[in-house]
Amino acid sequence: MKRDELTLIVGGASWGFWTIVGGAVSFVLGFIEGLVNPIKCGR
């Protein structure tokens, strides 16, 4: 392939980036929720 053709290929980097950002935000929000409102054990 020529260099011009390679630049036209759309990769999955942007999708992967937003997946990582979304996962990190979900993790942080879940962590904060666990600190603020801990679930007690049934015993």
- Answer yes or no: is pLDDT of 26 > 90: yes
Instruction: Give the pLDDT confidence score for residue 15 in this predicted structure.
Output: 67
- CA–CA separation, 13 and 21 (whole Å): 12
- Answer yes or no: is pLDDT of 43 > 70: no
Q: How many Cβ atoms are within 10 Å of 28's Cβ, its own excluded?
A: 10
Instruction: Give the pLDDT confidence score for residue 29 in this predicted structure.
Output: 96
- CA–CA separation, 14 and 20 (whole Å): 10
- This prediction's pTM: 0.56
CA dihedral 23, 25, 29, 30 (to 10 degrees): 10
Q: How large a percentage of the chain has pLDDT more than 70? A: 77
Which has more confidence, 14 or 40? 40
